Amino acid sequence: EDKVVQSPLSLVVHEGDTVTLNCSYEVTNFRSLLWYKQEKKAPTFLFMLTSSGIEKKSGRLSSILDKKELFSILNITATQTGDSAIYLCAVLNAGGTSYGKLTFGQGTILTVHP
Amino acid sequence: DTGVSQDPRHKITKRGQNVTFRCDPISEHNRLYWYRQTLGQGPEFLTYFQNEAQLEKSRLLSDRFSAERPKGSFSTLEIQRTEQGDSAMYLCASSLGDRGRQEKLFFGSGTQLSVL
C-alpha cells in the first residue's frame, strides 16, 4: 500500500525565517509527487514534481524531488504570516486501477508568528 | 464553472441517521474522487470514479458508505446509520483523467460532518 510520511508534523517560526518541510514516500507505481497548501478549506495546488533534481519555484516557495532516495522537500524563504497553513505532500499512483489516485501524508502544520 | 463545488458545507446529524453529500466536479473532468480528512491528518482516500464507473474503493470504507456518479457528472456520497467516528471533513476532487497529461486534482471546499 502506498505510504507518505511528512516531517516535522508541526513547525512554529517567526516572520522572515526559512523553513524546510520533508516528505518521504513509498508507492507501487510512482508517477508524480504533489504539494498542496491547506488553510481552512480546500487544499490548493502548489507543485507537481515528476523528475529528480529539477527544482520547481514559485515566488518564495521551491521544491525538489529525489526519486532515488524517495523524498521531496518544500522550502519557504522569508516566511510571512500568510504562509501559516497545513502543507500536504501526496504521491500520484500510475498503476492499473489505482492510476490517478493520490495518497497523502499527514501534513505539516506551519505557524508563522509576526 | 469556477471549480469543484460541494453541498452542504456543514452537516450536523444525530447518531444513526443517514446523510448524503453532493459533489459537482469541474465540467470537463472525467475523474472524481472522495477523500475524508480528520483534524491533524492528511486527506484519506475513500473512492473514485472514471466517468460513471467506480474504479476503486478503500478497504477502510465500511458497507455503510456508498457513492454514486450516475451520469458521469455529479456524485453523491451517502453514509447510513452514522456513527460519531464518521465526523470529519469530506472532500471531493476532480481531474481530467487523461493518461497523456500530468494529473492534478482540484479540490472542493468540503462538507464538514458532525455526528452527535
A88 at B interface, C-beta within 8 A: yes
Of chain A residues 50-69, which have a CB less than 8 A from chain B?
Answer: 50
Question: Domains, chain A, ranges and CATH?
Answer: 3-113 (2.60.40.10)
Chunked into runs of 10 residues, chain B (116 residues) has average pLDDT values of: 88 97 93 92 91 86 92 94 96 80 82 96
Q: Hey, is the C-beta of B25 within 8 angstroms of any chain A C-beta?
A: no
| B7 interface with A at CB cutoff 8 Å | no
Give the separation between CA B111 and CA B5, rounded to whole angstroms. 10
CB contact under 8 A, A41 and B110: yes
Q: With CB atoms and an 8 Å threshold, state whether B33 touches A97.
A: no
* Residue for grid cell 453541498: B7
Instruction: Report chain B residues whose CB lies below 8 A from the CB of A44.
Output: 107
Tens place of pLDDT per residue across chain A (114 aa)? 889 999 999 999 999 999 999 999 998 888 889 999 999 778 999 999 988 888 888 999 999 999 899 999 999 999 999 999 999 999 988 776 666 778 999 999 999 999
Q: Smallest CA–CA separation between B60 and chain A, in Å?
A: 12
Residues contacting A27, CB < 8 A, separation 6+: A2, A3, A91, A93, A103
Distance between CA atoms of residues A26 and A10, nearest Å = 22
Cell numbers 497529461: residue: B101
CB B84 within 8 A of CB B115: yes
> How far away is chain A from the Cα of B45, in angstroms, using its nearest Cα?
7
Cβ neighbours, 10 Å, residue A73: 16
